[in-house]
Chain A
């Protein structure tokens, strides 16, 4: 019977100086499946873990292209996220129409934050229940921002949001200092590794993640924001797994026996095979 008296609308302060409705919206971000973003000086990569709502459905899109130079990955209420990504697209296209130039990423993130802030100060509104990783390219290089429902936004070298994102953050925190000099390929690999951390033992395949990239090539031209196709992702995942298996080669007997064990396990337990089967089909 301890009902909170101070959380019935966004504009009501608690005596402790908190806005509960805004905090609840921040919680919504943590419910969504994880998203990861990281950047080098020239490229930014967004990655998302795809989760389907139930066995019979497909997953919802988590990564959206905003313009050639920018895109977002979102965690939380996807429906809110779609509204916001449409807003971002419209801002970008209007800027391009008037100035014949892409909207700087810092301004894109700021406009998004301003839009979110309004919802925290109007009694008849509700905050957006979505967190967005905004990645993009402008004259000063690649950028990564995190926009949250409270209207705050932060610039990051690398960040993760969504459920179990702490594992990905820990992974990124160990490595972020080298990211600025990373090649696009290295960024993608670390993005995949970070996403893998959030899966809690579930196998990482091209069907349960989405990776996108934007950046500037060495010749100064823009590599437009695009989602990398599943076939290439699977190739990268396979090559990463192959690389992971090399170090145990110090003890070849052990690793080979493990592989044998796996083989016999798969062959022996036939019902397990159909469970693995969907992966190749998703390519």
Chain B
């Protein structure tokens, strides 16, 4: 009603009016990522919700970008698909210079930051939080990179990152347990711990996860799998016990 009213007003003023993203429709959940000994590891579930309905159960939200990077996206799924299209275009034209140079994770992250901030300034944001990880040879040897950018263009780098609800649930765990020299197995274990906590506490997450890694050898996106759950914790059986003012 409101949107129609606005359009009617725009039409009355002699213009067609413009459509902007006012809220997301189909959304993906948290993405978790961290550096480890050989590179960067990234994980998320494969669910996408239509509003609060768990509508899609096997969407891929981690993709490889060029030779040196992985991107993980949470938020509006169609916007993420559009971003992937931008990145395809970008890496293709980069490849077509055919001069041996290629965009690294740092450059891709900077590019995404410009795109996100630009769209926000048009008051037509791409409704996502994006995580960008990768490894590339630099003048000082192999350099790991992990950064994120959100729908308003805020961007930063860190050793471990999580978007959405993961920012609340997974970051404290990562801060306590993350180490720079973790092996791949240790990293998987820590990531799975975070994913499990999210599965228990984030109502819109599902038990189907995808993990990806990127090293100097390139990227690997593993097939989806489920984690073993245990709902028998006493706190789960009477969750409102001790919480005054709840049902």
Which residue numbers of A lie inside 8 Å of B, CB to CB?
97-101, 104, 106-107, 110, 138-140, 216, 220
* In the complex, residue of chain A having the shortest beta-carbon distance to the beta carbon of B139: A220
What is the bound-complex CA distance between A107 and B114, given in angstroms? 21
B110 interface neighbour in A98, A110, A220, Cβ under 8 Å: A98
With a CB–CB cut-off of 8 A, which chain A residues contact B104? Answer: 101
B232 adjacent to chain A (CB < 8 Å): no
What is the bound-complex CA distance between A97 and B114, given in angstroms? 8
With a CB–CB cut-off of 8 A, which chain A residues contact B107? Answer: 99-101
Which residue numbers of B lie inside 8 Å of A, CB to CB?
97, 99-101, 103-104, 106-107, 109-111, 114, 137-140
Given known A-B contacts A97-B114, A98-B114, A138 and B106 have beta carbons under 8 A apart: no
A69 to chain B, nearest CB (A): 12
Q: Are A138 and B101 in contact (CB under 8 A)?
A: yes
Given known A-B contacts A98-B110, A99-B107, A99-B111, A104 and B99 have beta carbons under 8 A apart: yes
If A106-B99, A107-B101, A139-B137 are given as contacts, then 16 extra A-B residue pairs at C-beta distance below 8 Å, sorted by A number, are A97-B114, A98-B110, A99-B107, A99-B111, A101-B106, A101-B110, A104-B99, A106-B101, A107-B99, A110-B99, A139-B138, A140-B101, A216-B139, A220-B138, A220-B139, A220-B140
* In the complex, residue of chain B having the shortest beta-carbon distance to the beta carbon of A219: B140
A279 to chain B, nearest CB (A): 40
Given known A-B contacts A100-B106, A100-B107, A220-B139, A140 and B100 have beta carbons under 8 A apart: yes
Listed from nearest, the 10 A-B pairs whose CB atoms lie closest are A100-B110, A99-B107, A220-B139, A104-B101, A220-B140, A106-B99, A101-B107, A99-B110, A98-B114, A98-B111
With a CB–CB cut-off of 8 A, which chain A residues contact B110? Answer: 98-101
What is the bound-complex CA distance between A99 and B101, given in angstroms? 13
16 cross-chain CB contacts under 8 A: A97-B114, A98-B111, A99-B103, A100-B107, A100-B109, A100-B110, A101-B104, A101-B106, A101-B110, A104-B101, A107-B97, A110-B99, A138-B101, A139-B137, A139-B138, A220-B140
With a CB–CB cut-off of 8 A, which chain B residues contact A100? Answer: 106-107, 109-110
With a CB–CB cut-off of 8 A, which chain B residues contact A140? Answer: 100-101
A41 to chain B, nearest CB (A): 12
A80 to chain B, nearest CB (A): 26
B112 to chain A, nearest CB (A): 10
What is the bound-complex CA distance between A106 and B97, given in angstroms? 10
With a CB–CB cut-off of 8 A, which chain B residues contact A139? Answer: 101, 137-139
What is the bound-complex CA distance between A274 and B103, given in angstroms? 58
With a CB–CB cut-off of 8 A, which chain A residues contact B101? Answer: 104, 106-107, 138-140
What is the bound-complex CA distance between A98 and B103, given in angstroms? 12
With a CB–CB cut-off of 8 A, which chain A residues contact B137? Answer: 139
B181 to chain A, nearest CB (A): 22
* In the complex, residue of chain A having the shortest beta-carbon distance to the beta carbon of B115: A98
With a CB–CB cut-off of 8 A, which chain B residues contact A220? Answer: 138-140
With a CB–CB cut-off of 8 A, which chain A residues contact B100? Answer: 106, 140
What is the bound-complex CA distance between A98 and B107, given in angstroms? 8
Q: Are B97 and A110 in contact (CB under 8 A)?
A: yes
What is the bound-complex CA distance between A99 and B104, given in angstroms? 10
* In the complex, residue of chain B having the shortest beta-carbon distance to the beta carbon of A99: B107
B121 to chain A, nearest CB (A): 14
* In the complex, residue of chain A having the shortest beta-carbon distance to the beta carbon of B137: A139
* In the complex, residue of chain A having the shortest beta-carbon distance to the beta carbon of B110: A100
With a CB–CB cut-off of 8 A, which chain B residues contact A107? Answer: 97, 99, 101
* In the complex, residue of chain B having the shortest beta-carbon distance to the beta carbon of A104: B101
* In the complex, residue of chain A having the shortest beta-carbon distance to the beta carbon of B99: A106
What is the bound-complex CA distance between A257 and B111, given in angstroms? 69
B139 to chain A, nearest CB (A): 4
B147 to chain A, nearest CB (A): 10
Q: Which of B101, B109, B137 has the most CB of A within 10 A?
A: B101
B38 to chain A, nearest CB (A): 21
B102 to chain A, nearest CB (A): 10
What is the bound-complex CA distance between A67 and B28, given in angstroms? 42
With a CB–CB cut-off of 8 A, which chain A residues contact B97? Answer: 107, 110
Q: Which of A99, A101, A110 has the most CB of B within 10 A?
A: A99
What is the bound-complex CA distance between A100 and B106, given in angstroms? 8
What is the bound-complex CA distance between A110 and B97, given in angstroms? 9
